[in-house]
Amino acid sequence: MRFPVVCYLVSTVVFAVCQAATLPRGNRTVANQHLQTWWHPTGEINPSTPVLDGNVRQSHVYTIQVAADKTYYDSFVYESIPRSGYGQRLSPTNDTLGGNTDGVSIEGVAGINMAWTQFLYATDVTVKITRGDGFAPPDPSKVVIRPTTLTYRMSTDGQSLYIKVPYSDREQKFSVEFQDDLWSYRGGGTDGLFVQDVDPNGPNFVLSYNSSNPVLGIEPTNALLIFASPFPPSSEVPDKSRHSTYVVPKGHVASLQNVTQSTVYFPPGVYWFGGANHGILSPSVDWVHFAPGSYVKGAIEYNTTASLVKATGYGVLSGEQYVYQANVADGYTNNKSDATSLRMWSGSLTANQTWICHGPTINAPPFNTMDFHGAPVSHVSDYKQVGAFFWQTDGMEVYPGSTFSDIFYHVGDDCVKTYYSDVDIRRLVVWKTTNDPIFQMGWAPRNVTNVTASDINIIHARYPGANMVVPSAIIGASPNYLDISATPTTPTSLATSQTLN
């Protein structure tokens, strides 16, 4: 186990405080038939600014180890922060150009962030969570696991909290919430969002809260999610040595458009496209795989006519390098377009194609997360969306005949888009922020039948107020998009989030 030295550089005075951090950091991982964990040697502990291209933001609070028997192995704890540490920028090439409302208000001042870890397991495990300096030893009576329907056994030993997670053949996804580390979101901000009494120089500061500032949601400051997934079937792990597999070299990826193979495979490691580029796949590619321990800063656009198209693996696809609503047709700048602003998943797929998406985690989406040109039958399972701090960060389209199951959504906007018939949605854990309903049926007149949703757990929501254009609701229908300007109550601060999709 290595004990890193953490240095803080304090303002203009060249004054570095160095100390041996008590956080154990290591790379003692495991990969056997019971348990698989992984580690990023380029983890960067940095809760405030963008991380280096080749680095992965690592939790500045939590370390996690997992044991299937008596031995604990490290499981990397990722972290996502609002705007990924960039300012309120409008262009990927100009950090000083900023201003457009993006749904982030007091989060920076409040220190809001979201950490997560992911591992694969095939037996009961114990998850050991250790918080860093400055936190009291955990008290299980003051830790809430959400969904609260889960009844995992907790115990403590010194600074560590232990949670027993029984094996399940469905992914277990839950939030661990320390009750001594919560932030109360209070309404009444002049921008329609939240206020804070912490930093007079920060946004939406008030000297003290009054009755104009009701509490609208209480969430962990340092959120922590645990994703425990069963091992995937071999049919969902491509053979890396096949000549039909293109293995992406680590580091900067300039283009995938000349790939001639049918599978694009990201092995463990860090990859980045940059804020003005994304992963456009060549027409030969019908399968993209993110191996556990891969971290890809980019977005995927398919261009295949294959009948079966896939995205698999337990890696991360992160939109952290993009500006809010990055418009591909306008240099990836913040210029919202329903047609050309970047989705994490997009491309040519149509209704005669089937898309299987199993395993990936999406981080820091810049916009709606999935829209294809047509409406492929989509089978999405064991899928995670984290760090959706921007406003218009919708869930996926649920095209006709689709099945969605075992999904965690941290989501800013329309979460489940029930625009089409004959769909089945099961076992969702939803952490909603401020915009639009969780089940969105509206934006256009629709004839929809046979939509089934079951076992939906909403663990958080913080709607700024009642609103008929962007309904603050579990199930709602926004008015016809084409008539929306006729609606007199549209608050301008929320009007930017209107979408056809």
Q: Give the residue numbers annotated as catalytic, written as ranges.
A: 394, 413
Q: Which is nearer to ligand NAG, 335 or 381 (CB)?
A: 335
The candidate with the shortest Cα–Cα distance to 4, out of 84, 48, 53, 58, is 58
Which residues are at the interface with ligand NAG (CB under 6 A)?
A: 27, 29, 39, 94, 96-97, 206, 210-212, 255, 257-258, 280, 283, 303, 305, 307, 327, 329-330, 335, 337, 340, 350, 352, 374, 401, 422-424, 445, 447, 450
DSSP assignment of 31-60: BSSSEE----TTEEE-SSSPPPTT-EEE-S
Write down the least CB distance from residue 272 to ligand NAG, Å. Answer: 16
| Cα(25)–Cα(62) distance, integer angstroms | 10
Quote the tokens at residue 495.
């009007």
Q: Which is nearer to ligand NAG, 131 or 343 (CB)?
A: 343
Coil, strand or helix at 329: helix
Q: Which is nearer to ligand NAG, 11 or 211 (CB)?
A: 211
Write down the least CB distance from residue 433 to ligand NAG, Å. Answer: 23
The candidate with the shortest Cα–Cα distance to 345, out of 384, 372, 305, is 372
Q: What is the 3-class SS of 218-267, one letter each residue?
A: EEECEEEEEEEEECCCHHHCCCCCCCCEEECCCEECCCECCCCCCEEEEC
Counts for the chain of helices (H) and strands (E), in that order: 2, 42
CB 113 within 8 A of CB 80: yes
Write down the least CB distance from residue 357 to ligand NAG, Å. Answer: 17
Coil, strand or helix at 473: coil
Q: Which is nearer to ligand NAG, 134 or 445 (CB)?
A: 445
Q: Which is nearer to ligand NAG, 33 or 211 (CB)?
A: 211
Write down the least CB distance from residue 181 to ligand NAG, Å. Answer: 26
Q: Which is nearer to ligand NAG, 138 or 401 (CB)?
A: 401
Write down the least CB distance from residue 249 to ligand NAG, Å. Answer: 13
Write down the least CB distance from residue 180 to ligand NAG, Å. Answer: 28
The torsion angle over the Cα atoms of residues 259, 260, 263 and 264, rounded to 10 degrees, is -10
Write down the least CB distance from residue 176 to ligand NAG, Å. Answer: 26
Place of tokens 């919560």: 182
CB 282 within 8 A of CB 260: yes
Write down the least CB distance from residue 150 to ligand NAG, Å. Answer: 27
Quote the tokens at residue 29.
């991982």
| Cα(81)–Cα(329) distance, integer angstroms | 27
| Cα(431)–Cα(331) distance, integer angstroms | 32
Phi first, then psi: what are they for 495, rounded to 5°? -65, -25
Q: Which is nearer to ligand NAG, 162 or 372 (CB)?
A: 372
**Structural Rg of the chain based on CA atoms:** 22
The candidate with the shortest Cα–Cα distance to 324, out of 52, 102, 490, 69, is 102
Q: Which residues make beta-bridge pairs with 95? A: none
Q: Which is nearer to ligand NAG, 39 or 72 (CB)?
A: 39
| Cα(207)–Cα(255) distance, integer angstroms | 51
The candidate with the shortest Cα–Cα distance to 79, out of 364, 321, 310, is 364
| Cα(474)–Cα(480) distance, integer angstroms | 19
Q: Which is nearer to ligand NAG, 54 or 283 (CB)?
A: 283
| Cα(76)–Cα(228) distance, integer angstroms | 13
Write down the least CB distance from residue 42 to ligand NAG, Å. Answer: 11
